[in-house]
Amino acid sequence: MNQEQIYRGLSKVAWGYVFLTFNLNLGTLNVLPNWAGYLFFLAAIGLLGEELRDLPLLKPFCILLAAVDVVDWLAILVTGESLVGRFFLVYLLVVCVSIYFQFQLITDLSLLAEAYGLPSGVLRGCRNVDAAISVLILLPLPWADNELLTVLSVLLLLTGIIVRLILVWQLFTLRKSFRPEAPEA
């Protein structure tokens, strides 16, 4: 598979994570919507699918997550409130799909890195911590009522943000390793 295609695929994954990690709200309008991130991922799956055997399995999940996020994004834009969040079980099923999607995506990218002799430990570590935090914050604990739990929740959120930032940085670093040689003049 040509290196340029991998480079382009990794660029899309990295930018997809930028959209997933950062939110910029102008009133109720999120100008960095998650669905845009999923569209980047969809494009990346097309580019990297040949190299990574398992990656095309994520395509239906990517479309599903993008569709759900479009609906939620519109709901927040119009009403100011999330629609999916109102349906507990639907919300948790979407969380399941999201955890799986991101976990497998990063796993596949780690395998890609390993296949080319590049380090993948940090990527895998970030993947595990990110998934664990996604589960921990869903635990039905009195987060707001207990001082210790409140501190813990803040720590978890801070850790989550830091891990996401490291992940984005790692993805751009990985991308750099596949930069195509500049054509000689």
Partner 1 sequence: MENIWAFLLQTLTASVAAAVLLLAKRLFLDKLSPRWQYGVWAILAVRLLLPAGLWGQTPLPGLSVAVEAVKTGAESHLSSALSSPYAITEVLSPIPLVRLIRPGSVTDLLFYLYAAGVVLSLLWFFLSYLALRRRVACGRTPSPAALEQVKAVAARYRLARPRRVVVLPGVESAFVCGPLAWVLVLPEREVDDKVLLHELLHLEYGDLWAGVALCALRCLHWCNPVLWFCWDRAQNDCEALCDQRVLERLEGEERRAYGVILLSMADGRYARAPGTTSMANGGKNIKARISSIARFKRYPRGMGFGSGCVAAVLAIACLAGTSGAVDIPDFDQRGPLALARAQVNRPTTVAGALDTYAKALLCDSPLYYAMVAPEASRQAAVEAASAPYREAELEDYLYSAPFHDLGFRWHRPAWQAEWSVMNLLPDGAGGYTGVLLFTPMRGDEAQGLAWQPVAVRPLGEFWTVEPTGELTAQLREDWWLCPSTSTPYATYTAEREGLYLEVDFQCRLWVDNTVQTGSSDFFSSFSTSGYLDPKPRPHASFTQLQTGVGARLVSTGTGEAISLPITVAPMEPGDDPVRALAESHYTFTLSPGSLDEDPVQSSSGVTGGENLTLTEMPAALAVSIRDGADTYTWTATLERGGQS
Comparison of 32 and 132: residue with beta carbon closer to partner 1: 132
Which structure tokens are listed for 91? Answer: 């919300």
- Which of 24, 26, 27, 88 touches partner 1 by CB under 8 A? 88
Distance, in Å, from the CA atom of 6 to the CA atom of 45, rounded to the nearest integer, reads: 10
Q: Token pair 């929740």 is at which residue? A: 153
Q: Does 104 bind partner 1 (CB under 8 A)?
A: yes
Q: Does 110 bind partner 1 (CB under 8 A)?
A: yes
| Contacting residues for 185 by C-beta, under 8 A, at least 6 apart | none
CB under 8 A: which stretch of 11-19, 21-29, 127-135, 176-184 binds partner 1?
Answer: 127-135
- Which of 27, 80, 117, 140 touches partner 1 by CB under 8 A? 140
- Which of 18, 32, 42, 57 touches partner 1 by CB under 8 A? 57
Shortest spacing between CB 177 and partner 1, in angstroms: 20
Shortest spacing between CB 67 and partner 1, in angstroms: 14
Contact yes or no for 45/62 (Cβ under 8 A): yes
The count of other CB atoms within 10 Å of the CB of residue 181 is 7
Residue 30 pairs with which residues in a beta bridge? 25
| Contacting residues for 154 by C-beta, under 8 A, at least 6 apart | none
Distance, in Å, from the CA atom of 40 to the CA atom of 180, rounded to the nearest integer, reads: 20
Residue 25 pairs with which residues in a beta bridge? 30
- Which of 128, 154, 155, 161 touches partner 1 by CB under 8 A? 128
Shortest spacing between CB 165 and partner 1, in angstroms: 21
Q: Which residues of the chain form contacts with partner 1 (CB under 8 A)?
A: 54, 57, 61, 88-89, 92-93, 95-97, 99-100, 103-104, 107-108, 110-111, 127-128, 131-132, 134-135, 138-140
